Structure 1
Amino acid sequence: MKKLFAVLVLAASALTVTAQNRQTKNLIIVTLDGMRWQEVFRGADSGLVNSKYTSDKDDVRKKYWAATATARREMLFPFLWNVVAKKGQLYGNRDLGNKDELANQYRFSYPGYNEIFTGFPDVRMNTNDPIVNPNMNVLEFINKQKGFEGKVIAFSSWERFPQILNVGRSGLPVYSGYAELKNADANPRLKYLNELQHSTPKYIGDSTRSDFITYEFSKEYIKQYKPRVLYMAFDETDDMAHEGNYKDYLARAKQEDGFIMNLWNMVQADPFYKDKTTLLITCDHGRGESDGWRNHGADVKGAEQTWFAVIGPDTPPTGEVKTATVTYHKQLAQTIAQLFGFDFKKSAGHEVGSAISTVTVAK
């Protein structure tokens, strides 16, 4: 089923940066699988709300419809637009000429996640099958840096991330699908989640778990273990779209915005994380329009159109980017590394896109 210049300066390779320049000490990355830029920047799509893809249209209009795109998007993504848009940056509003895109030609999940984390749109990564990714990823790279060893972790709903992040080589703890957390000292809540995930309805398949469980694992792990880098990967937006269920696609998008809000509020209340943590939110691919909204892939026009948002102590609060520029997902890996003052490109052993500068270099 798979599945941050005019304001700033793009090529961050021109910058000389060190870890001491950075206020970011921790990072949370969140992906919403297959979440279209159209809903992120326009809110609910009238054509789809009034189509065969939406059941209970009156209820959907009540929850998500308003006269302007600005109002609609705030109804759908209140955290993104009331917090990130005021204190961070959002990229990908094509209505303003600002484009964020995939560099890979395949436009589905495994190639999309490979591009995000390796910075390399590798033509070999052209399947959603459980092949082991030969490319070094930025989470693996960070996990090898002093002070980060054993402090990088991933929780995902989709079961494919152990292969995407190559746990056999990287040694990263990646808890995907219905994998149980094995830490002997895990708190009672984490142990309960190991059991609970097997009891929740498997309405998105026998291998992909509920986004709620992925969120709860991430939240409880942060509380107990204080990781420096956490990746939380949601899946249900893509699942609902593939099913042609626009009502639930919107509902899952709003729910995940709420999960991210709760997590951000929690870390901002924790002295370990408060004002020292960057949050990056994005997707793995786009989707088509009109009747093509259910799908994505190489032959689906618009599936290369993506978006991302970032908020944190090194990100100037410029809000929605309104310049006619293009960024690519292959730039995110080096961007992530440079938030800590690291250079992933020198160590990756393969092509890596140049960073998108989201930092203010200390004088």
Structure 2
Amino acid sequence: MFKKSIIWATLAVSLFHSAMVSAQDYKTENVILITLDGMRWQEVFTGADSLLVDDTGMIETPGSLLPDFWDVNPLKRREMLFPFLWNTIAKEGQIYGNRAFGNKVNNQNTMWFSYPGYNEFLSGFADDKRITSNDKMNNPNKTMLEYLNEMPEYNGKVLAFGSWDVFPYIVNEERSGIPVNAGFDIAKGDDLSPEELLTNKMQSEIRGPWGGVRLDVFTQNYAMAALKNQKPKVTYISYGETDDWAHENHYDQYIWSAKQTDAYIKEIWDFVQSDPQYKDKTTLIIGTDHGRGTTKTSWTGHGSSIHNAGEIWLAAIGPDTPALGEVKSDGQLQSAMVARTVFKLLGLEYPDEKAAPVIKEMVK
């Protein structure tokens, strides 16, 4: 019995040491997750859509988008639309989902609209039995954000920001204790920065066209202020304009918002690379909650009735993510794989066995 105890103790120490070494191999100490609501993979990989960009009745002045977004070469078009994605992440990180090369990313859920998509992205699995609408229902599933916030090292250092006012329920702010600034929430506290005070004032005076979704500029400003002043270890940011402009059949506003969001992501990454806490210790993962239709009549919508609306994309950049650029090999990923991948980058095991596997290529 004594010998067995020594053997088991030695094995336990060995396993613990192996786990610690494995965790120390990764440089990632912070993670920033970003989603662009309903952003199609078609624009990500080929730029402005020739079916929609001109002579469609969806732009205020026919031809007005051409100087800023049009070139006969789709590789140039996509750089015009997403300059940071293609000039930085494509060189230093990874981009998945160009189906022209057989590289596929899909929703695991079969709903193909927002709440199921965000639950999947954040929780690591689809829940088609319980997440069946966009209603303001507290998420019965724990997200990776909540699991991290329960750990002493991350407790109080996990924040979420979203343009859509359903995010406090998706993250389950009530149960998780994670502060969620979403919809028309303002920054609160006694020591607000000048940027937060100004954003509070501007948001109260500038109303967007939608009742439950604020303009993304406010989400960006609140998130940037938090990164600078609160220094969270894990941050989730969701931009919403692309989906709402698409629903309203405004292709011009859809792609203008996409380009502006690309600029927001650049602003975040530029700050990350200038700050001692974040520089060379932060992984950025970007995705979307769902795709949308591919024709002049279906592009405005999504959901299970819209063909191909479950086709999406992913991108990542960070110290532990090899610079593969645009991945052109045959493959099949799901947004559900992000949660376990984040934990792997942080040297942790994901606590929910239902979660999809790690995206191996994102973790060297």
TM-score for the superposition, normalised by structure 1: 0.91
* Alpha-carbon distance, 1:20 to partner: 1.4
* Alpha-carbon distance, 1:210 to partner: 1.0
Aligned equivalent of 2:137? 131
Q: Does the C-alpha gap of structure 1 residues 340 and 358 become closer, same or farther in structure 2, counting only changes over 3 Å?
A: farther
Aligned equivalent of 1:186? 192
Q: Secondary structure at the match of 1:233?
A: strand
Q: How does 1:84-123 map to 2 (within 5 A)?
A: 84-123=89-128
Q: Which of 314, 317, 321 does residue 315 from structure 1 map onto?
A: 321
* Separation in structure 2 between the aligned mates of residue 229 and residue 304 of structure 1, nearest angstrom: 27
Write the letter of the residue equivalent to 2:343: A
In the TM superposition, what whole-angstrom CA distance separates every residue of 1:58-108 from its partner, at most 9, and x where no partner exists? 221111001211000000000000000000000000011100000101000
Aligned equivalent of 2:8? none
TM-score for the superposition, normalised by structure 2: 0.91
Q: Which runs of 5+ in 2 are unaligned?
A: 1-17
In the TM superposition, what whole-angstrom CA distance separates every residue of 1:251-282 from its partner, at most 9, and x where no partner exists? 00000000110111111111111111111111
Do residues 41 (structure 1) and 26 (structure 2) align?
no
Q: Which of 206, 219, 241 does residue 236 from structure 1 map onto?
A: 241
* Separation in structure 2 between the aligned mates of residue 100 and residue 143 of structure 1, nearest angstrom: 28
Q: Secondary structure at the match of 1:292?
A: coil
* Alpha-carbon distance, 1:353 to partner: 0.6
* Separation in structure 1 between the aligned mates of residue 337 and residue 323 of structure 2, nearest angstrom: 20
In the TM superposition, what whole-angstrom CA distance separates every residue of 1:227-270 from its partner, at most 9, and x where no partner exists? 11111110000011000000110100000000110111111111
CA contact 2:316–2:362 (8 Å) conserved in 1: no
CA contact 1:18–1:342 (8 Å) conserved in 2: no
* Separation in structure 2 between the aligned mates of residue 19 and residue 182 of structure 1, nearest angstrom: 36
Q: Which moved more, 1:350-359 or 1:296-305?
A: 350-359
Q: How does 1:150-299 map to 2 (within 5 A)?
A: 150-203=156-209, 205-290=210-295, 291-299=297-305
* Separation in structure 2 between the aligned mates of residue 78 and residue 106 of structure 1, nearest angstrom: 31
Aligned equivalent of 1:12? none
* Separation in structure 2 between the aligned mates of residue 216 and residue 61 of structure 1, nearest angstrom: 30
Relative contact order (C-alpha < 8 Å, sep 6+): which is higher? Answer: 1
Aligned equivalent of 2:358? 355
Write the letter of the residue equivalent to 1:352: A
Q: Secondary structure at the match of 1:75?
A: helix
Q: Which of 330, 337, 345 does residue 331 from structure 1 map onto?
A: 337
Q: Which of 64, 69, 80 does residue 75 from structure 1 map onto?
A: 80
Q: Does the C-alpha gap of structure 1 residues 175 and 81 become closer, same or farther in structure 2, counting only changes over 3 Å?
A: same
Q: Which runs of 5+ in 1 are unaligned?
A: 1-14
Write the letter of the residue equivalent to 1:234: Y
CA contact 1:314–1:358 (8 Å) conserved in 2: no
* Alpha-carbon distance, 1:195 to partner: 2.5
* Separation in structure 2 between the aligned mates of residue 106 and residue 25 of structure 1, nearest angstrom: 34
* Separation in structure 2 between the aligned mates of residue 359 and residue 306 of structure 1, nearest angstrom: 17
CA contact 2:33–2:285 (8 Å) conserved in 1: yes
* Alpha-carbon distance, 1:338 to partner: 1.1
Aligned equivalent of 1:4? none
* Separation in structure 2 between the aligned mates of residue 357 and residue 324 of structure 1, nearest angstrom: 14
Q: Which moved more, 1:145-154 or 1:75-84?
A: 145-154
* Separation in structure 2 between the aligned mates of residue 287 and residue 57 of structure 1, nearest angstrom: 24
Q: Secondary structure at the match of 1:142?
A: helix
CA contact 2:111–2:132 (8 Å) conserved in 1: yes
Aligned equivalent of 2:71? 66
Q: Which moved more, 1:182-191 or 1:301-310?
A: 182-191
The list of structure 1 runs, each at least 4 consecutive aligned residues, that deviate by more than 6 angstroms after superposition, is: none
Aligned equivalent of 2:349? 343
Percent of matched pairs sharing the same residue:
44
* Separation in structure 1 between the aligned mates of residue 266 and residue 62 of structure 2, nearest angstrom: 27
Do residues 54 (structure 1) and 54 (structure 2) align?
no
- CA RMSD across the alignment: 1.5
In the TM superposition, what whole-angstrom CA distance separates every residue of 1:130-183 from its partner, at most 9, and x where no partner exists? 011110100111122232111110110000011101111111110111112223
Equivalences, count: 343
Q: Secondary structure at the match of 1:270?
A: coil
Aligned equivalent of 1:27? 31
